[in-house]
Each structure stands twice: as C-alpha cells, then as structure tokens.
Structure 1
Amino acid sequence: MAQAKISSEEIYRIGIDVGGTNTDSALLDSKLNTIHTVKVHTTSDVNEGIVESVRQLLEESKLNPAQVRYAMLGTTHCTNAILQRKHLGRVGLIRLGAPATTSVSPLADWDDTIKAAIGPHAYVANGGYEYDGRTIVELDEAEIIDYCNRMKGEVDAVAICGVFSPVNTSQEKRVEQLVKQVLDENMPVTLSHEIGSIGLLERENASILNGALLNVISGVVHGFEQALNGFGIKAGVYICQNDGTLMRSEYALRYPILTIACGPTNSIRGAAHLSGLNNALVVDIGGTTTDIGVLTQGFPRQSSAAVEIGGIRTNFRMPDILSIGIGGGTIVRSNTDQDVVTVGPDSVGYELLKRGRIFGGDTLTATDVAVKLGRFEWKDALMDDLDEAICRKADAIITSDIEDAIDRMKTSADPVDVILVGGGSILVPDQLKGVLRIVRPNHHDAANAIGAALGEVSGETERIYSLDDMTYDEAMADARSNAIEQAVLAGADRATVQIVLTEDIPIAYLPGNALLVKVKAAGRL
C-alpha cells in the first residue's frame, strides 16, 4: 500500500539497494519525502531482483514511469566479484618506481587465485617523485613501450601507479598516453592518483582491482539502464559510492572500485535523513549481519586504516564500519545437557521464512527469539514449542554483543544516540547500556534504499603540500578547489557544492614543512 498520494505534476526518484538477503527499493518525491518502499528477495542473477523490485514499486504506487527523473543503484556486484574471484578482467600493471621500490614486487601479498584471474603482466619501470613533487628518476619511454608490447592481446585494462603520484601526476599521465598509443586508444587505463591516497602498495592494489572490475560494472550499469528502459523510465542513472554520495553512471564505469561497501553507507545516509540526526551511531541489522557506522555531520565517518577487500590491502576511501554476525536469520543453538546457548555467527539468510521456527521450520533463529519475547508480532507465528528460557539466554547474548560493538565504535565513554535501521532491528530492546536514546524512524527497514536515493554527489582530494613553497592558506584553498571540481565532474550542481570535511595533518617523517590535506565537497544533483 502506498504511503502517500502520487501527484501527476510531481517528479520522483527511485533508490535501489541490493543486499545479500534482500533487494530494497524506495520512491521519493522532489522534497525527498518517502512515498513508497518495496522489499524483495535478492536473486542469484541480481538483475532479476532489481527488475522485480522496480516492477512492484511502480505497480503498488500507481506511478507514471515518465515522472521518474532520477534512478540510483547501490550494489554488491563489485564486492562479490572480488570475494568470489569471478568475472574479473585481466589487468596489466606498470609501477613507476624503479629503482627505489624494487625490493617489494607488485601483487606481493595477493593469493594465487586472484593472481591467476588478473594475469602475469606486472612491471616495475623507472620513475617516481619525492613527497614534494621533485623527480626521483625520469621516465624511460622505450621501457614503457616495451612493456606495453608484451601486454598486447593479453590484458583487458591497464593500471599505472607511480611513487607519490598524488603529489605530481605528470608521469602517470604521460604513461597513459604511451599505453593508448601502443595498445589501443580505447584501452581502459586506471591512474592510481585518481583512486587512492599516499601509500604506494595499497594505492597500487586498489588501482589493479579497479581495472579488474571494469567489465563487472559495465554489466551492472547497462543491465540497470535496460531494466529502467523496459518500464519506460527515462531517468538520469547514478551509482552509489562508498562515502555516502552518488556518481554518474559514466563516472562509475571508470571507477567501479568506489562502489565497494556502499550498502552500509547507504543505510547510514538513510538513517540520517529519516531521523533528522546529523551525529549519532547507526546500527543496521539485516538478515545476516549487524553493521555499525558513525554519522558525523550527516555523512559516514571514514576509516583511517588500510582496508582489506578479499584479503587485499587498499587505502582508498571507505566508511568506518564494524560488522558482527548478528541478524534476523542468525541461528541459535542450545545444549540442554550442559545448559549452554550459542548465537551465530551463521545465518539462514533469505531462507528465514522457510527455516525459522515461527514459520514452521526446524531452525531456531534470532527472529524467533524476538517474536517469542514480544518485541514483534507476527500473524500466525508458531510459538507454542519455543522454550522461553532458551530464548531469554539467546536474547541476553544478542543484546550484549550489540552493546559491545556499539562501545567499540564510540569515541568517548559518554552515552550516544543510536539510530536503528534494517529489517532485523526488532532484535534490539528499547534500552541498551551506553546509549542515550534509541531512535527507530519511519521506513527504517528500507533505510538503505532511501539512502541510495538521497542524491548528494561528492568529490575528494588528498595531497601533500610543502609549506616551504606556499602558505597554509594557499594549500587549503588549492585542496578545496580540487575537491569542488571533482564533485562537479561526478555530477554535482556547482551552485550547491559545499565543503563537508577538511583534515590537515603535519607529516613529521618527511623533510621540510610537509602537510597532508584531505578535503571532501558535496552538492546536489
């Protein structure tokens, strides 16, 4: 049933978030009010679930497809491709770092399965810069051309990574020109300074993964566009990034790595919008996991540590998320002889309605516990043979695990506001230790899809400046200007772009007056 009336004069936007258990979709109007939401099971062919969710959304809301102006998608495709080692493209790497970086070879900490998928073409060429942009070694263009000739016919994309290239981009850009001359003008090239920050190996890893995911994201974007066209929706298509903002579909086709972990981030942004809070902890409980993130000034707090994806260290921007194995489908086990109850970490996932005890199944789950203890009413629930003592013990474990996870994400001992979202939020009691208040906003079970639809577009810059060459104010102004330009490139309206995050860190281990500056800007579509 539609939650609000459709107006024939209004324009609308659709947000879709594909999770491991469910695919959620949400319809929002131009004032970002939630009109209708739909939840369907995620299918093995993810596009089928997306098509079904759009079909139900249009049918139930009685919306004219011509009124949809924007469509946003948050997807797990790229994450799953890395974790499962499937559908990855072959990538050639040219590292500009000889002789300074030859002691650690490219892909040194990658396991054999993903190395085999990427292919054998990884080379270390002369090049690289000092932290302040001075050249360590000049490029040897004949060497680059030789490496490109070796890659001919054997790679789908090329990644280029130079020492301190975020400070000086010239060598990477020149190598890109040579790659396209030798291989093909249309050969996809990932430049590391556009992907990661200062650390060489992590930035290199992220750039290779980005090249490997280009085929994956192409299928996602074109499949999404075809699905929309099939319903007569002629909308601008945007893909969700992992910092809580959007990018145009053509931008996503170049930078698929930026979609990694966008699901929890969408939930955080949706929670902020639905609750009206800008600073809080967001606890997103799904069918399999509980993801906890920190909301700072309306955006997810970013992780400052290196992030591992499928066992590979990277350092591009990622939300600071703590995940624990508690969800609506989490399996509860009891040993009556030893009076022991254990919870998870495994889950029945999307089979909850078939295997859960209250639905006539044979597996005791966290949802069964919540319904037995009166947290949630389910019509026709089969509760007579549920042991209340076991349920109370399981509930104490679930509550304790969530309280501990909240405590780990807090930055002080003071109680914090917690926004509860996700279909599994029925597991949580009305009070938790260390929590000031618990907010369960309307539409909390579709916060991820609503977060996908919100539609802010961001740009980010991270550079080291030498304050021997310019003043602090000049360095900050340059960084802000770069971040704004990146946001506009990604699809933001320049008139609405604002700086939402600024960090500057003096770097003691570098000579001279070195300053690392990070700036993020965001604006409306």
Structure 2
Amino acid sequence: MKRIGIDVGGTNTDAVLIDGETVLSSIKFPTTADVMKGVVDAIRHVTASQPASASQVDAVMIGTTHFTNAVVERARLERVGAIRIAMPAGASLPPMVDWPDDLREAVDPLSFMVEGGHEYDGRPLVPLDRDAVRDAAMRIRDAGIQSVGITALFSPLTTECEVEAAEIVRSVMPDARITLSHTLGRIGLLERENVTLLNAALQGLGQRTVDAFAKALKESGVHAPFYLTQNDGTVVLAEVAAANPVYSFASGPTNSMRGAAFLTGLKEAMVIDVGGTTSDIGCLVGGFPREANNVVEVGGVRTLFRMPDLLPMALGGGTIIDAEKGTIGPRSVGYRITSEALVFGGSTLTTTDIAVAAGLVEIGDRDRVSHLDQTLVSTLLKRIEQMVEDSVDRMKTSADGVELIAVGGGSFLIPEKLNGVSEVLRVEHAGVANALGAAMAQVSGEVDQVFSEMSRDAAIAEAEKLARQRAIEAGAQPGTISLLDTEDIPIAYLPGDARRVRVRVVGDIAFNEKREVA
C-alpha cells in the first residue's frame, strides 16, 4: 500500500512516500505562510520521481499544528455556547473561570448553568431542567452561535444528562456542532469542561482545515482518502478529526515517536525529537507514546483528557544563542534559519552554527563560523548536553540506562554519550521521522469510562466492544483490530462493583471501503 505522510510544523514541512515499509522519496523544506501551498508542493515533490505506470497512492496522512496554534495565538476560534448541567452544586465557579483573559475574550462564551447532573455514586443530583436547556439552546441559536459544549456533573459515570440535553439542543438547533464532555474528558468537572469548550471553539476551524486539505490534495492530483494524525500516534478519518480537533494537540511529537519506532523496530525506548524551535522527549511503551495521566495545560488552559506524556525543551536547530551571556534560547529564528543563521549568511548565532563550528554537521558555509572561539563552542555544547541529560532524567521511571532515539532535523545536537542513556541511536530518514510516523500510522479506538452493576470481565468486554466500534468509525478495518492495552481500577466509594476501565485498540486502515461516519 502506497501512502504519503505529511507533517506541517512551525519551522519545517516534511513529506514522505512509502510503499509498504519502503521509503520511496522524502522532502523537508521550510514551512511557508501559505500552508496549503506547501502541502501541494510537498506532495508533488515526493510523487514526481514515480513512473507513470506506478500504482496510485492509497491514502494521505497529514499532521498539522493548526489547532494548537489557534489556541496559542488566540485566533480563528469560534464563539461557543456553554451549557453546564451541575446546579445547584456547581454554581460557585462559572465556565472558563480559569482561562487566560485573552483566550476567554477570543472565545466569548455564552454560558448557562442549569439544574441536573449526578452524584459520584451515580444517583441523580436533581432532575434535569429540560426547560432551562431548551431556553439556553434558543438563546444560543438567536446569538448566531453554531458550536455548543455540554458538560454534566460526573458524566463519565452516567452520560444520561448530557445525551438528553444534546437531543434537546438539536431539536432547537438541527445543524449545531455539539461536543459532549464525556466523549473527551475524565472525572474532574472544570478540566473536562475546559477541553469540551476548546473542542467546540475549534470545530469550525476543523471543518475549514479538512476542506482546505481536500482542495490541496485535489490540486496536487492525488485522489485518495486522507486522514489526520492524532496525539496517541494513530490517524483518524479527516471527517472524524474535524469533529474532535483537540485530539490533534501534540500530534507532531507523537508522529516522530511512531516514526522512531518504525525506523528502529524498538517498542520500548525514549525518543527525543529535535525540531527547529523546540525538542520534545517522550517514551515508547509497546511501540506507542506513553500517555500522560495528569492535568496538561494547553495554551494556558488546564485539561484532563488523552494527551501524550511529553517534556518540551527550548532547544532546536534555530535556537538563538547569546554569545556574551553564554545562554541558549528560549527564542528561536524558526523557519527563518535559512536566512538568519550565520552559516547561511545571516547575523544571528544559533545552535546550528555551534554544531557546524564543532564539526558535528555540514550545513551551509562553515567558513562563516570559523571565527567562533572554540572554548565558547565547547562550553555551549556542554550546556546542551546537560539540558538533554536533565530532561531525560526527568522522564525516566528507573535509574537504569535507557536507549534514546534521536530524530528530527536538529538531531545532530544530541551528543553521542549521555549520562543515564545506554545508547544514542541514529537512523536513516531520522530528519523526516514525523512524516514517516504519520504515513505508517494505524487507526485507534479508545474507551476510558466507569462501568457499574456488572462483573469485571463484563465491564472489560463492554469497553473493548465500544473501543472496537470507535476504531471502525474512525476508519479501521474490522478484521485487523487488536487489543493494545487494558487497565481497570476498582472504585471502592461507588456502589455496584464500579470500576474505571480504559481499553485501547488499534487496527489497519480500511482502504477504499465506503463507511458511514457518525
């Protein structure tokens, strides 16, 4: 099967064409202001060397930072209607209470708090106020808002209130885009509500982005289904991704981690992805990124949902160095490295210039950095080494040495020997590992919720059934779906033998099959 993998980063856009496990062609070039033109150019480049008789591309996988950037930049976000079903218990802290002021102003929520929700043990708090939900829906509709986020108290335990509220809203607003918190987040009202409202604010951008990518593919002459990468190292049908854009947060580093696993064959290792602006360190567990199990901030907003366990560093190929102070970063020249770095004729000292001066890599004109004091170069390289060692140590779960796979365009910055690392692995195509990770990704389905009034085996079986169904809806071929991991935790304070069950499955992409997408 031929696939094209594309990863659009803030500094570079990478693309690869693979046939099975064979890399046919690849390209890395600076990301341009017109992102879609860059996608078209990338596709044309990797397919240009293919003979006319070559088989057609079966699928295109795209990783994008569009949605993360929108939150960080406070731009391209839609106004949302927020319905919280938690009164009278949840009245003290209104929706978005802990959001940064500028982000809250960008989203400009129309918020309603209505009676309903459940207790921690599944008992109704008070009956759902259906009239209040209907009134909220009408006011949201009259305000011209199309995206609605609905959050109910303890909905991961009992989804009843959210599902019924969604039906009421849809009866008033048939074309509304509705996000239900129990489909995304975990127990923890504010954090779950936060990710729900972020998702609602991004759904319009999600649809526009998918439409733009579809247009770019058509312009490039590729007629194949396309998928967007997710932050668990898998892909999902573009239409599904448009409805759940938050699952694309941090998908770039996870693409690189999956690419590293593909290139090395390792399933248990640490990966450092060195880009032009930052580096991300994560751990492979079973060949997939280790998942964070705590609160993760996105653009200053506390969230609690599926996110990879990553440690970012202000270290990349374009990181700016202050020679007088001897400091590294945190600012970077980013995609302007080809015009601003010393080795490319610019006037800004970067980590790439230091690496070239030390003979670690041959990029640009080495003569342009020959004047650098070698003591300064050695001192800065030692500081980079210390930065990496400290970060690796923070991500380790034991004192044993770990294998570290260095990928990304700036991986030449990673020293050959590091304390706490048994071996630094370097592989061919490491510079486009992110695009490779996108190209070879599978489709996943995941369930993380509380089950009660059933045995442990029945709860796990039900969770696996739901996870498999979600994988099929996301584009997986039913016969290839396999169980990746299972976790269940009894909840002693809940009645009915309640337990939290988390199940994740993965499967191969169902190429050229017609599916109904919910």
TM-based fold match above 0.5:
yes
**Aligned pairs (5 A) from 1:339-358:** 340-358=325-343
1:209 correspondence with 2:198: yes
Q: Name 1:237's counterpart in structure 2.
A: 226
Q: Name 2:515's counterpart in structure 1.
A: none
Contact 2:231-2:249 at 8 Å conserved across structures? yes
Distance 1:66 1:216 in 2: 33
Counterpart of 1:238 in structure 2: which amino acid? Y
1:372 correspondence with 2:361: no
Counterpart of 2:334 in structure 1: which amino acid? G
Are residues 166 and 116 of structure 1, via their aligned partners in 2, closer, same or farther at CA, if it must alter by over 3 Å?
same
Distance 2:54 2:64 in 1: 22
Contact 2:344-2:364 at 8 Å conserved across structures? no
Q: Name 1:400's counterpart in structure 2.
A: 386
Contact 2:483-2:506 at 8 Å conserved across structures? yes
**Aligned pairs (5 A) from 1:173-322:** 173-183=163-173, 185-322=174-311
Counterpart of 1:259 in structure 2: which amino acid? S
Counterpart of 1:174 in structure 2: which amino acid? E
Which one of 33, 42, 49 corresponds to residue 53 of structure 1?
42
1:90 correspondence with 2:79: yes
Distance 1:524 1:63 in 2: 28
Shift of 1:60: 4.1
1:501 correspondence with 2:485: yes
Q: TM-score by structure 1 length?
A: 0.93
Which one of 349, 363, 370 corresponds to residue 384 of structure 1?
370
Q: Name 1:12's counterpart in structure 2.
A: 2
Q: Name 1:484's counterpart in structure 2.
A: 468
Are residues 475 and 54 of structure 1, via their aligned partners in 2, closer, same or farther at CA, if it must alter by over 3 Å?
same
Shift of 1:115: 2.1
Are residues 60 and 366 of structure 1, via their aligned partners in 2, closer, same or farther at CA, if it must alter by over 3 Å?
farther
Q: Name 2:400's counterpart in structure 1.
A: 414
Q: How big is each residue's C-alpha offset from its partner over 1:390-441, in whole Å with a ceiling of 9 and x where there is no partner?
A: 1100000001101110111000000000111001011122111111111111
Question: Any stretches of 5+ residues in structure 1 without a counterpart?
Answer: 1-10
Distance 1:242 1:65 in 2: 32
Shift of 1:51: 1.7
Distance 1:98 1:378 in 2: 61
Which one of 6, 24, 27 corresponds to residue 35 of structure 1?
24
- What is the SS of the residue equivalent to 1:213? helix
Q: How big is each residue's C-alpha offset from its partner over 1:46-90, in whole Å with a ceiling of 9 and x where there is no partner?
A: 212212211222224557797111011110000011111111111
Aligned residues: 507
Distance 2:320 2:239 in 1: 42
Counterpart of 1:311 in structure 2: which amino acid? G
Contact 2:405-2:425 at 8 Å conserved across structures? yes
Contact 1:421-1:440 at 8 Å conserved across structures? yes
1:520 correspondence with 2:504: yes
Contact 2:320-2:333 at 8 Å conserved across structures? yes
Question: Any stretches of 5+ residues in structure 2 without a counterpart?
Answer: 510-518
Are residues 435 and 485 of structure 1, via their aligned partners in 2, closer, same or farther at CA, if it must alter by over 3 Å?
same
Distance 2:54 2:191 in 1: 43
Deviation larger for 373-382 or 143-152: 373-382
Q: How big is each residue's C-alpha offset from its partner over 1:207-253, in whole Å with a ceiling of 9 and x where there is no partner?
A: 11111111111121111111111122111111111111111111112
Counterpart of 2:336 in structure 1: which amino acid? E
Are residues 104 and 512 of structure 1, via their aligned partners in 2, closer, same or farther at CA, if it must alter by over 3 Å?
farther
Deviation larger for 299-308 or 228-237: 228-237
Q: Name 1:435's counterpart in structure 2.
A: 421
Distance 1:153 1:117 in 2: 20
Counterpart of 2:159 in structure 1: which amino acid? T
Contact 1:243-1:262 at 8 Å conserved across structures? yes
Q: How big is each residue's C-alpha offset from its partner over 1:11-62, in whole Å with a ceiling of 9 and x where there is no partner?
A: 4111111111001011111x23221111121122321221221122222455
Q: Percent identity?
A: 45
Q: Name 1:26's counterpart in structure 2.
A: 16
Q: TM-score by structure 2 length?
A: 0.94
Distance 1:177 1:507 in 2: 30
Two-structure CA RMSD over aligned residues (Å): 1.7
Distance 1:136 1:63 in 2: 66
Counterpart of 2:218 in structure 1: which amino acid? N
Are residues 126 and 278 of structure 1, via their aligned partners in 2, closer, same or farther at CA, if it must alter by over 3 Å?
same
Counterpart of 1:177 in structure 2: which amino acid? E
Distance 1:471 1:131 in 2: 19
